[in-house]
Amino acid sequence: MRGRAAQARYLNRLSKDINSSKWVEPSRKRYLKIALLCFVVVLLLYPFESTVVPAWKLRVVNDAGQACAEMQVNEGWGHYSLELNSTGQSEFRFTNEEGVVEFPSRKIRASLVRRIAMPIVANAMTIAHGSTGKSGYVFATGMKDGPFLNYDPGKPMPKELAVEKCYRANPEEAFGAESP
């Protein structure tokens, strides 16, 4: 009889140990660790947005100070510390009748993993043919060696682009200081 009582106590203790096992009933601490791990993974992989170049509004004028209407202006931008594409991106627009052209802000999305890893790659690539950091510029087209304005983060955006001559969308129709 004694053997059966000892066996019953042993089985009773064993069932309590099994039922209290952390694999059967995870504790709050375990749930908290899993939730924290999920949060960290999401935080590392979520693509946060950053501005490469803010909205840019500028006026194009010729040497005489006259507004250049319907002149093509190109904007280029890139974030070479977050992109492998070394050519960047560009868009052209035309000035209005007052010689004003507006470009929207240029943004990029990148995860924290990319923001940590890509600058290392970008710095290594500068040896071959690369750049790092943000880049933005505008230039007027239709002429050789035309003016070129750069965006420098932390400095005021240039508001005026002075060209030698104004060129309408069709370069054959040039007008400028010598025009009446």
CATH class of the region 48-175: mainly beta
Q: What is the pLDDT of residue 177?
A: 42
**What is the rounded CA–CA span in Å between residue 129 and residue 97?**
40
Q: What is the pLDDT of residue 11?
A: 67
pTM: 0.70
From first to last of the 180 residues of the chain, give the pLDDT tens digit.
Answer: 567 777 777 766 656 555 555 444 568 888 888 999 999 999 999 999 999 999 999 999 988 889 999 999 999 998 888 887 767 788 999 999 999 999 999 999 999 999 999 888 888 877 766 678 888 999 887 665 568 899 988 899 999 998 888 887 654 454 444 443
CA atoms within 13 A on the CB side of 68: 35
**What is the rounded CA–CA span in Å between residue 64 and residue 109?**
42
Q: What is the pLDDT of residue 99?
A: 93
Beta-sheet pairing, 166-167 with 148-150? unpaired
Query: Domain-by-domain residue ranges, the chain?
Result: 2-45, 48-175
Q: Which run of H or E residues covers position 32?
A: helix 28-45
CA atoms within 13 A on the CB side of 156: 4
Q: What is the pLDDT of residue 124?
A: 81
